[in-house]
Amino acid sequence: MNFYFPTIFIPLVSSTVSAGFPSPADDYTELSLDLNTHLIEHPYTTFCIRVRGNSMEGARVYDGDMLLVDRSIIAQSGNVVIGALDGEFTVKRLRMEQGKTFLLAEHPSYDPIPVTEENDFKIWGVVTYIIHKTHKLL
């Protein structure tokens, strides 16, 4: 999959924001920032996919979120991955132990999914970023 990511610059305020105690404002000089250069390490192997469902809420992946996925990263146990399991795409945490592979949801309503030799399973990529709104539009 080859994708073209156009360069789109958005304003970047040069000061930081405090997540603890408020601090006096520094300089408000604005710079330009291209999110592609900060979020995408491998542009030709990265794609976006939208989440449907609630099985990964414990990993702060919510229904409607956009995921940035890098196909060039070799998946390791513990990674959140996009997998194709028997023809269906899914986002789950990959667990590999003692020669066995499991896809783990991060929601108490879902059981682990064992991946066996009978399954048609392929990892499409490792999730590198989760993009979601922090507020709802009225």
In which region does residue 43 sit, left (phi positive, over 0), alpha (psi from -120 to 50) or beta (all else)? alpha
Tokens of 15: 């000061």
Instruction: Give the span between the Cα atoms of 54 and 65, in whole angstroms.
Output: 10
Active site residues: 55, 92
pLDDT value, residue 119: 95
pTM of the model: 0.77
Task: Give the tens place of pLDDT for each residue, 30-88.
Answer: 566 677 777 888 888 888 899 999 999 999 999 999 999 999 999 999 999 999 999 99
The architecture of the domain spanning 42-131 is Ribbon (2.10)
Instruction: Kindly report, residue by residue over 5-21, the tens digit of the pLDDT.
Output: 566 555 555 555 556 55
Q: Does the pLDDT at position 124 exceed 60? A: yes
Closest CA to 54 of 89, 106, 3, 17: 106
Strand-pair partners of 95: 102
Residues 6+ apart with CB under 8 A from 98: none
* Average pLDDT value over all residues in the chain: 83
Q: How far apart are CA 107 and CA 59, in angstroms?
A: 9
